Amino acid sequence: MPSIEYEGSCVCGQTSYTAFDLNDISYCHCEQCRKMTGHFMAASQVSRENIKIKGKIKWFYTHEGSRHGFCDNCGANMFWQNDSKPTISVTAGSIDDSKELGLGTIYLLKKKDVIIISTLTSLKVRAMATAK
Ligand SMILES: [Zn+2]
Ligand SMILES: [Zn+2]
């Protein structure tokens, strides 16, 4: 299968990335993600060797080994990483053209436990027109 290239960027343009073969977009409604994003996290995971990041990132650890990355200038929420895994997640909103990435897993919060409610592979997230 050929590699699909994706570009991503923050609001001010200081932080950007080029990634190959992003996974489908997953959604997490856990308390940490709600507090971090203002509502819920929508992100796509990629192998760390398949992404090149430019710009200055401010990392914040929500707990040991788990960190969110923000553009150091505009504060855009760009990345999430579990240090024990060889992957990094890019926020769905930072992707310039999602090229119809599919819908991954949706995590909902129920009685303080994060549960996986469904994996919907038949639905597609429509590529959004970029403002450029
Ligand atoms: Zn920025
Ligand atoms: Zn979460």
CA 48 to chain CA centroid, Å, is 13
Expressed in angstroms and rounded, the spacing between residue 123 Cα and the centre of ligand 2 is: 21
| pTM reported for the whole predicted model | 0.82
Expressed in angstroms and rounded, the spacing between residue 5 Cα and the centre of ligand 2 is: 26
- 45-74 per-position pLDDT tens digit: 999 999 999 999 999 999 899 999 999 999
Average pLDDT over residues 16-45: 90
Residue 122, pLDDT above cutoff 80 = no
Task: State which H helix or E strand residue 31 sits in.
Answer: helix 31-37
- 80-112 per-position pLDDT tens digit: 999 999 999 999 999 999 888 888 887 776 655
The residues spanned by each domain of the chain are 5-119
Domain 5-119: CATH architecture, name and number where available: Beta Complex (2.170)
